[in-house]
Amino acid sequence: MGIQSQKAILEKFAREMGKIAYSFYVDDGYSGTNFCWG
């Protein structure tokens, strides 16, 4: 699943939960399986 798809799913979930303020933090260079960020 790509970044854009994940963001769309999260935005939909946030709206359904009544959240109006949220931010995305994205680093396309790292996998969710790689926890060595530096």
Phi first, then psi: give them for residue 7, nearest 5 degrees. Answer: -65, -40
* 6-28 pLDDT, tens digit each: 889 999 999 999 998 878 887 76
Q: How many residues does the chain have?
A: 38
Predicted pLDDT at 34: 65
Question: In this structure, are residues 10 and 2 in contact, taking their beta carbons and an 8 Å threshold?
Answer: no
pTM of the model: 0.59
Q: Could you state, in order of their start, the residue ranges of all structural domains in the chain?
A: 1-30
Q: Give the 3-state DSSP-derived string for 7-26, with helices as H, strands as E and coil as C.
A: HHHHHHHHHHCCCCCCCCCC
The Cα–Cα gap between 11 and 6 comes to: 9
